[in-house]
Amino acid sequence: MPARLIDGEALAARIRAELATQIAAIKQRTGSPPKLASILVGDNPGAKVYTRSQARSCEDAGIAYQLVELPNETTAEALAARIRQLGADPSVHGILLQMPLPPAINARDMAELIPPQKDVEGITSANLGKLLFYEGAELIPCTAAAAYELIKFAGCTIKGAECVVVGHSPIVGKPVVCLITNDLGTCTCCHIGTRDLKAHTTKAEILVVAAGKAGLVRGEHIMPGATVIDVGINRAAVLDADGKPVLDEKGKKKMKTVGDVDFASAVGVAGAITPVPGGVGPVTVAMLLRNTVRAAKAQVG
């Protein structure tokens, strides 16, 4: 029997509906909606696309969105000053620093300038530390929070479950490990240094894959009946029945978005699986909105 699809769009819609009431309450109490400021340095096309979709998501949710665009030549000092200014502005409840930053600017130094109460991506040491200590962690990195919410939405009991997370980045893999461990799941973290990935993944009742490698996890890596959360977003060529790339009308390879899990082979083995697109992506956006609302609530009382 093919795996049940874990519908990220449905979960995101449910979260947005819950947020709508809270956003309306904030607006009624303070006269204005929660506000998210997004800082974009330079003209990275991918980041620009991302800011447009952020703006749309905020607008749909009734959250005010301010895009702060700075030129490519912006110095670390100028960016730091802008972050501090937004940090001190009481009308701004959330600050998001769009990546990548120009190579001359240290991204971690800049992220640490965001006041923790406005850190809606949950990437400051203060917020990551709260997650580790399990003390009132409210602003959790959005993608990690999305993976965790999808595990619960799929109906899994984390306590006592054998869980494997593939990927140990500070904003995805490691926070997922923390969230699972905080709920008393038994969690193994695999990464580029893992000698035998399959030996671990085939033991997982809950498998989260966040490696950024298309097709890294195939059906044979999965325990029958496991719940699989595919965080990866990769671009891959569309292939025809003979395995050759399909070309578009301009003779260029047709591309599609795929995850880190080879869906075709995984769907026959897993018990439940997130699709890509339509799984973690929409819930990540909902988590950004949720963090903005949480930040606003904490600031306006």
Question: Which parts of this chain interact with ligand NAD (CB under 6 A)?
Answer: 143, 166-169, 172-173, 190-192, 194, 197, 210-213, 216, 231-234, 280-281, 284
> Whose Cβ is closer to ligand NAD: residue 54's or residue 143's?
143
Contacts of residue 182, defined as CB under 8 A and 6 or more positions apart, other chains included, come to 131, 134
> Whose Cβ is closer to ligand NAD: residue 231's or residue 267's?
231
Distances (CA, A) of 104 to 51, 98, 107, 108, 193: 22, 15, 9, 12, 29
> Whose Cβ is closer to ligand NAD: residue 8's or residue 185's?
8
CA nearest neighbour of 285 among 126, 134, 87, 63: 63
| Cα separation, 219 vs 285, whole angstroms | 28
| Cα separation, 90 vs 118, whole angstroms | 10
> Whose Cβ is closer to ligand NAD: residue 191's or residue 297's?
191
Query: For ligand NAD, which residue has the nearest CB?
Result: 169
**Structure-block tokens of residue 297:** 């609530």
> Whose Cβ is closer to ligand NAD: residue 33's or residue 282's?
282
Percent of the chain that is helix, strand, coil (3-state, to 5): 40, 20, 40
Within a 13 Å sphere around the CA of 181, how many CA atoms are in the beta-carbon half? Answer: 15
For the bound state, the minimum distance from the C-beta of residue 96 to ligand NAD, rounded and expressed in Å, comes to 13
For the bound state, the minimum distance from the C-beta of residue 19 to ligand NAD, rounded and expressed in Å, comes to 18
For the bound state, the minimum distance from the C-beta of residue 300 to ligand NAD, rounded and expressed in Å, comes to 28
